[in-house]
Structure 1
């Protein structure tokens, strides 16, 4: 009997789809192993037990094994990023922002410790979607280098919400995975959420053990991180001043008023107003008078030294349900390590 052309096309598509494999945040992947004939026959004769992925039943009847369709993953990410702060603007207690281009900072080193949770599902054998939540604790060593020098240590926290998608392809023991996610971070030191994306592509090879579904996957790839440049925030002046001892505040005040330093004379009137108000508040603070609810507003651009990193990863699959991964990333102005545990299940 002649097989309709449409049926042949669908079967060809399903054979290709069956080679697509699982992937986690920042690339979790499992390569297809060669199956013995008995196992293939068993797959063909066993009904597919889950409602996802779509066409999962047809793929299994073709003799191809599929990973479990749902997953919950917990990741730890440690990252050090270097970035420049430019286009600084200040406002005093709700006034209009004033460009303060004479204020210059040294390159900032940001150290972040991130714990994120991700839930995912395979919609098709080659297409995964996921949602994520992350909690970040970071520290910044911000150093003002002009018009005078002092350090501002900060330890902001962030809650991040996002979503992403994965496309994966495998052939034999080799695989390729593309990942994209978008997220919004609510940072304690900023007024507006910060938007960012992560895009990555990896290729790798799987090395199997004698026991089925136990294997190690090695991967190499590139990752691009994008972070929105503009940031806006505000701090109560009493919180700003409390970060410095009395001697340092007195030194800043004397620096501004010292006739030997003529940077103040070159300021525009709007800039002098901001500086004068800050000096007045420093005087009040040194005299024991608190600034009440007055706030210092700030707006600036942040420019990472680099946005692309080389990613090297190793993953151990302990059966179909538990996967463990370690990955490191190295790029200009960026170092990263990821530790991951992924539990997979079917419904």
Structure 2
């Protein structure tokens, strides 16, 4: 039973779906002959596309615009520590019981490997809008333990549980990236909202990502250029998670019963220690409010553990048709991390980009190829 409680929590992987904007709306500046010639020529160009709005006015002011439409394919890897609490567990759609004091998490790490497809367009010269469609393979590893009170009412860990669950997710979402220039640099504030459908969860997991960046674009010969940037990355996710799992997906009947029997033995031993301590007190000490509170707290915790074992034991009788329902709260251990990135423009149609985030309990990498075209 104990391991199943933990296995339920591993379906909570943070799903990193970041997709940043194109950073190539550049003002042609400088006194070099090629810059002066290009800036002057743009003032007399007729802009042929519907987007972005005000495109004609912008190029007449000396800005070199990228193609307004784009399609990119990106690989994403992310690893992040998460914090889990308020775990509640029930069996066969029966009442759920809070296990927060019994089950304590040492570390939970979510890992994502996925590919996303991102169509985007510049609605204004300073605003890129994009959609997200992603498919990912995810896993969550959990290191935790079962804790019960002893005869001195001190809580002790009676077993360690290390487990891992793998699951797939489909994600859809959208994003906005306002971009502007200042002192020869660009500033981009990337924001996106996504919802990930995971079979084991009752409703899609929601994530909001904020990524402010500052960088500079370096022009080379022809249409080639290199944009480099640095910035931050912040994740917010919905904290509440509810789900259900078939018990047969977790354990065989024999393994399930062995774990239940082991749990009964350890809880019974703890109960004997508490009773021996209480019975060894004098009648006067038993009336001491402090001792009475310790005794009541210990009995309540052990009774809760016993009820969970009873529910697990009843479910074991029909393991093939039984299920476990759970709910919990989770959040990233660190909301922010630092990132660096670069994008190489081969020509105005093709770009390659890469970005890496670090300096916190979260690390991520994104790399991809982008194709841009007119509309």
The two structures have a TM-score, normalised by structure 1, of 0.83
Offset, 1:206: 1.8
Offset, 1:247: 5.5
Matches within 5 A, 1:1-347: 25-30=19-24, 32=26, 33-34=28-29, 36-101=35-100, 102-147=102-147, 148-171=159-182, 173-211=184-222, 213-242=223-252, 246=254, 250-258=258-266, 259-262=268-271, 266-267=300-301, 272-282=306-316, 284=317, 290-347=318-375
| Alpha-carbon displacement from aligned partner over 1:258-299 (angstroms, at most 9, x marks no partner) | 4323399543766643320202444x4xxxxx5232210010
Quick one: distance in 2 between partners of 1:196 and 1:331? Answer: 21
Offset, 1:229: 1.1
Does structure 1 conserve the Cα–Cα contact (< 8 Å) formed by 2:20 and 2:177?
A: no
Worse overlay, 250-259 or 189-198: 250-259
Quick one: distance in 1 between partners of 2:23 and 2:357? Answer: 17
Worse overlay, 305-314 or 257-266: 257-266
Does structure 1 conserve the Cα–Cα contact (< 8 Å) formed by 2:181 and 2:187?
A: yes
Offset, 1:214: 0.7
Q: What SS is found at the alignment partner of 2:269? A: coil
Offset, 1:171: 4.6
Quick one: distance in 2 between partners of 1:106 and 1:188? Answer: 26
Shift in alpha-carbon separation, 1:126–1:181, aligned structure 2, 3 A: same
Does structure 2 conserve the Cα–Cα contact (< 8 Å) formed by 1:221 and 1:310?
A: yes
The two structures have a TM-score, normalised by structure 2, of 0.78
Shift in alpha-carbon separation, 1:104–1:192, aligned structure 2, 3 A: same
Worse overlay, 163-172 or 250-259: 250-259
Does structure 1 conserve the Cα–Cα contact (< 8 Å) formed by 2:25 and 2:125?
A: no
Does structure 1 conserve the Cα–Cα contact (< 8 Å) formed by 2:196 and 2:206?
A: yes
Q: What SS is found at the alignment partner of 2:321? A: coil
Does structure 2 conserve the Cα–Cα contact (< 8 Å) formed by 1:307 and 1:331?
A: no
Offset, 1:209: 1.2
Quick one: distance in 1 between partners of 2:122 and 2:270? Answer: 64
Q: What SS is found at the alignment partner of 1:222? A: strand
Shift in alpha-carbon separation, 1:260–1:126, aligned structure 2, 3 A: same
Quick one: distance in 2 between partners of 1:223 and 1:84? Answer: 18
Q: What SS is found at the alignment partner of 1:233? A: strand
Shift in alpha-carbon separation, 1:214–1:171, aligned structure 2, 3 A: farther
Offset, 1:37: 3.5
Worse overlay, 42-51 or 117-126: 42-51
Quick one: distance in 2 between partners of 1:199 and 1:225? Answer: 7
| Alpha-carbon displacement from aligned partner over 1:8-55 (angstroms, at most 9, x marks no partner) | xxxxxxxxxxxxxxxx92354226244533333432333211000111
Quick one: distance in 1 between partners of 2:333 and 2:360? Answer: 6
Does structure 1 conserve the Cα–Cα contact (< 8 Å) formed by 2:121 and 2:128?
A: yes
Q: What SS is found at the alignment partner of 1:260? A: helix
